[in-house]
Chains A and B, each alone.
Chain A
Amino acid sequence: MTAAKVFRHETILAVLTVIAMIVLASLSDKFFTVDNLLNQGRLMAEVGLISLAMTFVIVTGGIDLSVGSILGLTAILLGVFWKNVGLPLPAAMFLALACGTFAGWVNGFIITRFSVPPLIATLATLALYRGLAEGISEARSVRGYPEWFFFFGQGEVLGVPFQLWVLGIATAIAAVILGLTPFGRATYAIGANEVAARFSGIRVNATKLWIYTASGFCAALAAVIFVSRVTTTRSDMGTGLELDAITAVVLGGTSIFGGRGTIIGTALGLILIQALKNGLALSGVKGDGTIVVIGLVLIGAILVGALFDRNRGG
């Protein structure tokens, strides 16, 4: 794949994003204000973190449907460790993060050790992790977190929401890893031709295990920010989040068949979706109407991608 081809998709996407912004700004004068934009960034952070890891997952030709459930499970564990077990909150945070990361590792283990298709493996753990969250919490929410904890989800650093800094730094790190390191090269190689990657001495299973573990970690990190932002813990947190993440990644030009995609594309896809959601909401479309738009955008984006692939003749 030549650089020109990569950037063509991303250029189109960037232009689309700009057009969407202009249209939305003209529809509502509330859209293009610093407050609104920063607030949208705040809302974007959780899906954003998950989408970064999801980009790696999809570039290897896999998928992770369990991220929303890992988020829910981590949120619940955070509350339970703190309130019911009585750990200090920082320890509870650390432990919950470790558990979420472990959940991601379990996905990777099932996929690499037993050759279960990622789709099926993570569909099963989607149910399992959400079920654990429900079982552990018994639908009771945890509230009453100390004031300092809200910093992660509501605080600002230099006038910019804290989680936007986290997202920005994570995006930079992910872009560097995928684009510039041997690990990134291995990720692309596995997605494009797993057998040839293995025959070239790439540690295929180890790479995949790292990626699914990272996916768990990102979902867990998103969980802490989520809990801090909404000040409460519930077991249904993050339901359907996998769809948002996959949509952003695919819209960003990552091939659902693996081997192609960039972090910049994912970031643009994220911004476009968030802008659409926000813009539609501001122009009076109810919250659930925007889900329809996301579904349509997802199918449309893949359809266009598939047609392009066919025209290029594989």
Chain B
Amino acid sequence: MRTEHIGDAAASGAGLPIELRGISKSFAGIKVVNDVSFDMRPGEVHALMGENGAGKSTLIKVMAGLYQPDEGQILVNGAVVRFTSPKDAHAAGIATVHQELLLFPELTVAENIFLGQTPKTSFGTIDWQTMRQRSRELLDSLDSGDLDIDQKVAHLSVGNRQRIEIARALAQDARVLIMDEPTAALAEHDVQRLMSIVRNLRKRGVAIVYVSHRMPEIFALADRVTVLRDGHLVATKPISEVDEPGLVSMMVGRSIDRLYPAKQGTDGDVILELTAVSHRSVVRDISFKLRRGEILGLAGLVGSGRTETALTIFGITPATQGQILIDGKPVSITSPEGARDLGIAYVPEDRAQQGLIRPQSIEENIALANLKRLTRGIFVDAAKVAAEARNAITRFGIRARGPDQLVRQLSGGNQQKVVLGKWLATNPRILIMDEPTRGIDVGAKAEIHQLMRKLAGEGMAILMISSELPEVLGMSDRVLVMNGGRIVGEFDKDHATAEAVGTVMTRSYDKEQAA
């Protein structure tokens, strides 16, 4: 199928705005993108899909000039090119609308659109009048006539900022526009607006690489779709030849049951209960019960409120409404130390930033959440700390030279085990795991899954958040689906299929519908 596709692209002529042939890229010896070919035709929306870690972002970054491929070629208009920096990609007409919008909050809309390529007067000075006029025209052409070009970007909504980035790309005469999860952080009416802008761009001949998980958008917009899995190209197909379940199985692509350990024992009493818990507008009206020995999966897209819910339970962003009960008793959790003292542990999604102090040693990290217990008199008991760390190393099979090895020298999987070790040393009864296996290799992944099962078997209540659908389906005894800050679906083990969960997860809810 792959060779066929290359032949196809090559036959279609030299006028392609960008074409990738046999691209491979490795990080630390792991092939993240493996022999992938991909091409864009003028005036098409080409959806790029795949699970997290499938290689989408790496491929995008190769196109944007941020990474140089180890193997393979990039062609622009039929000629082989080399991008050594984002500047080269810009010059070749390739622009990116970033997920983390790269704008200058204190500068005006017009300036953000033109910075780096400002129109000049005959004296060589910046021509503000022309700049503002062209910004106005650009935004008008994007149906964004309501945006004030003299306003500072700091005051604008995410949707408006995104429109500015698109205008910025158009100001550079981009022929290829890469949009990475453009709707992830958008409110519903902004999504509709964005979709009409994308259609408008397609009419003008711009080729759009559209990365998204949301099926309705893909089917509404895309002309073709390319699916990646584990760094490999699965297929590129016209949208008319695929349907939703077909796409999901192309993305997931493996039988789920075999890989995951089976449930041991039965569920116990309800230990954690949320009733109508909210935090501002990101966590809305969440109610659920978590039992001892249960693994409860929390599914949803990035930005659907899963992590935010975890942060509320853990006291980082305390609940503004509703009640949290532990063992049936109402508790007030206003800080992480309060949550810890109630027996809640949280293994965060961003290991490097939130989970670990990477310049410190394994034992220092493990001691951090347990200082009270590891203290004798007023002193930290060095012997106890070392024993605790050695215990964690053997218990979780952390591959390290010893307790005093620095955490940043460990592999991703071993780092994650240190985070787990730190939190399990607090003897928690409720364990929240946010993306427990993100960015770690297959072997370590399986070990962590085994461990989670074993802990549940011993009576731990586990709330697991994951963006990987197979992981959610394979590990969870029960699945809650979040969308727009709310719980929009609940499935028990038998009814939680990729199709069913995926559909609820990606559906665009109107505000009324969801309420």
Determine direct contact between A and B, CB below 8 Å.
yes
Instruction: List residues of chain A with CB under 8 Å of any chain B CB.
Output: 1-3, 176, 180-182, 184-186, 188-189, 192-193, 195-203, 259-260
CB distance from B377 to the nearest CB of A (A): 9
Taken together as a complex, chains A and B put the C-alpha atoms of A200 and B346 apart, in Å, by 9
Task: Specify which chain A residues have a CB less than 8 angstroms from the CB of B358 in the assembled complex.
Answer: 192-193
- Among B71-79, B362-370, B460-468, B494-502, the one that faces the other chain is B362-370
CB atoms of B348 and A199 under 8 A apart = yes
- Among B121-129, B199-207, B215-223, B332-340, the one that faces the other chain is B332-340
CB atoms of B361 and A185 under 8 A apart = no
CB atoms of B359 and A186 under 8 A apart = no
Q: Tally B residues with Cβ within 8 Å of A.
A: 30
Choice from A1, A195, A200, A203 contacting B369 with Cβ under 8 Å: A200
Query: Could you give 17 example pairs across A and B, Cβ below 8 Å?
Result: A176-B379, A181-B378, A182-B371, A184-B380, A185-B380, A192-B360, A193-B353, A195-B353, A196-B355, A196-B356, A197-B368, A199-B348, A199-B354, A200-B336, A200-B368, A201-B339, A260-B359
Proximity bits, B394-435, A CB within 8 Å = 1, else 0: 000000000010100000000000000010000000000000
CB distance from B462 to the nearest CB of A (A): 18
CB distance from B395 to the nearest CB of A (A): 19
Task: Specify which chain B residues have a CB less than 8 angstroms from the CB of A180 in the assembled complex.
Answer: 379-380
Task: Specify which chain B residues have a CB less than 8 angstroms from the CB of A196 in the assembled complex.
Answer: 353-357
CB atoms of A201 and B359 under 8 A apart = no
CB atoms of A185 and B368 under 8 A apart = yes
CB atoms of B361 and A2 under 8 A apart = yes
- B316 interface residue per 8 A CB criterion: yes
Counting from the closest, the 4 A-B pairs by CB-CB distance are: A182-B371, A201-B337, A201-B340, A200-B368
Task: Specify which chain A residues have a CB less than 8 angstroms from the CB of B348 in the assembled complex.
Answer: 199
Could you list 10 further interchain pairs (A-B, Cβ under 8 angstroms) beyond the known A192-B360, A198-B336, A199-B346? A182-B380, A184-B380, A186-B371, A189-B360, A192-B359, A195-B353, A196-B355, A197-B357, A197-B368, A200-B422
CB distance from B348 to the nearest CB of A (A): 6
CB atoms of B355 and A199 under 8 A apart = yes
Q: Which residue of A lies closest to B350 (CB)?
A: A195
- B372 interface residue per 8 A CB criterion: yes
CB contacts under 8 Å to A, within B259-301, are none
CB contacts under 8 Å to A, within B299-348, are 316, 335-337, 339-340, 346, 348
- B84 interface residue per 8 A CB criterion: no
Q: How many A-B residue pairs have CB under 8 A?
A: 77
Choice from A1, A197, A202 contacting B359 with Cβ under 8 Å: A1
Task: Specify which chain B residues have a CB less than 8 angstroms from the CB of A185 in the assembled complex.
Answer: 364, 367-368, 371, 380
Taken together as a complex, chains A and B put the C-alpha atoms of A198 and B369 apart, in Å, by 10
Taken together as a complex, chains A and B put the C-alpha atoms of A176 and B371 apart, in Å, by 16
Task: Specify which chain A residues have a CB less than 8 angstroms from the CB of B356 in the assembled complex.
Answer: 193, 196
Taken together as a complex, chains A and B put the C-alpha atoms of A184 and B367 apart, in Å, by 12
Taken together as a complex, chains A and B put the C-alpha atoms of A70 and B385 apart, in Å, by 39
Q: Which residue of B lies closest to A193 (CB)?
A: B357
- B249 interface residue per 8 A CB criterion: no
Task: Specify which chain B residues have a CB less than 8 angstroms from the CB of A203 in the assembled complex.
Answer: 335, 337
CB distance from B311 to the nearest CB of A (A): 9
Task: Specify which chain A residues have a CB less than 8 angstroms from the CB of B339 in the assembled complex.
Answer: 201
Proximity bits, B450-461, A CB within 8 Å = 1, else 0: 000000000000
Q: Which residue of B lies closest to A184 (CB)?
A: B380
- B141 interface residue per 8 A CB criterion: no
- B375 interface residue per 8 A CB criterion: yes
Q: Which residue of B lies closest to A3 (CB)?
A: B404
Known: A1-B361, A2-B361, A189-B360. A201 touches B369 (CB 8 A): yes
Taken together as a complex, chains A and B put the C-alpha atoms of A196 and B358 apart, in Å, by 9
Taken together as a complex, chains A and B put the C-alpha atoms of A136 and B468 apart, in Å, by 66
Task: Specify which chain A residues have a CB less than 8 angstroms from the CB of B378 in the assembled complex.
Answer: 181
Taken together as a complex, chains A and B put the C-alpha atoms of A2 and B360 apart, in Å, by 8
Choice from A3, A181, A193, A202 contacting B337 with Cβ under 8 Å: A202
CB distance from A76 to the nearest CB of B (A): 36
Task: Specify which chain B residues have a CB less than 8 angstroms from the CB of A259 in the assembled complex.
Answer: 357, 359-360
CB distance from A308 to the nearest CB of B (A): 13
Task: Specify which chain B residues have a CB less than 8 angstroms from the CB of A197 in the assembled complex.
Answer: 357, 368
Task: Specify which chain B residues have a CB less than 8 angstroms from the CB of A176 in the assembled complex.
Answer: 379
Known: A180-B379, A181-B379, A185-B367. A199 touches B316 (CB 8 A): yes
Known: A192-B357, A196-B357, A201-B369. A2 touches B404 (CB 8 A): yes
Most chain A beta-carbon contacts within 10 A, residue among B360, B378, B406: B360
CB atoms of B380 and A188 under 8 A apart = no
Task: Specify which chain A residues have a CB less than 8 angstroms from the CB of B346 in the assembled complex.
Answer: 199
Taken together as a complex, chains A and B put the C-alpha atoms of A197 and B378 apart, in Å, by 20
CB distance from B384 to the nearest CB of A (A): 12
Task: Specify which chain B residues have a CB less than 8 angstroms from the CB of A188 in the assembled complex.
Answer: 360, 364
Most chain A beta-carbon contacts within 10 A, residue among B336, B355, B357, B361: B357
CB atoms of A195 and B379 under 8 A apart = no
Taken together as a complex, chains A and B put the C-alpha atoms of A3 and B380 apart, in Å, by 16
Q: Which residue of A lies closest to B379 (CB)?
A: A180
Q: Which residue of B lies closest to A312 (CB)?
A: B359
Taken together as a complex, chains A and B put the C-alpha atoms of A240 and B378 apart, in Å, by 36
CB distance from B437 to the nearest CB of A (A): 19
CB distance from B154 to the nearest CB of A (A): 16
Q: Which residue of A lies closest to B371 (CB)?
A: A182
Taken together as a complex, chains A and B put the C-alpha atoms of A63 and B371 apart, in Å, by 26
Q: Which residue of B lies closest to A313 (CB)?
A: B408
CB distance from A186 to the nearest CB of B (A): 7
Q: Which residue of B lies closest to A203 (CB)?
A: B337
Task: Specify which chain A residues have a CB less than 8 angstroms from the CB of B364 in the assembled complex.
Answer: 185, 188-189
Most chain B beta-carbon contacts within 10 A, residue among A195, A199, A259: A199
Most chain B beta-carbon contacts within 10 A, residue among A3, A182, A201, A259: A201
Q: Which residue of A lies closest to B340 (CB)?
A: A201
Task: Specify which chain A residues have a CB less than 8 angstroms from the CB of B371 in the assembled complex.
Answer: 182, 185-186
Taken together as a complex, chains A and B put the C-alpha atoms of A181 and B371 apart, in Å, by 9
Most chain B beta-carbon contacts within 10 A, residue among A193, A203, A259: A193
CB atoms of A199 and B336 under 8 A apart = yes
Q: Which residue of A lies closest to B353 (CB)?
A: A195
CB distance from B361 to the nearest CB of A (A): 7
Q: Which residue of A lies closest to B367 (CB)?
A: A185
Q: Which residue of B lies closest to A2 (CB)?
A: B404
Task: Specify which chain A residues have a CB less than 8 angstroms from the CB of B367 in the assembled complex.
Answer: 185
Q: Which residue of A lies closest to B341 (CB)?
A: A201
Most chain B beta-carbon contacts within 10 A, residue among A1, A184, A186, A200: A200
CB contacts under 8 Å to A, within B57-99, are none
CB atoms of A182 and B357 under 8 A apart = no
CB atoms of A195 and B406 under 8 A apart = no
Choice from B354, B359, B404 contacting A195 with Cβ under 8 Å: B354
Task: Specify which chain B residues have a CB less than 8 angstroms from the CB of A260 in the assembled complex.
Answer: 359
CB distance from A188 to the nearest CB of B (A): 7
Task: Specify which chain B residues have a CB less than 8 angstroms from the CB of A200 in the assembled complex.
Answer: 336, 368-369, 422
Q: Which residue of B lies closest to A5 (CB)?
A: B406
CB distance from B406 to the nearest CB of A (A): 7
Taken together as a complex, chains A and B put the C-alpha atoms of A185 and B375 apart, in Å, by 11
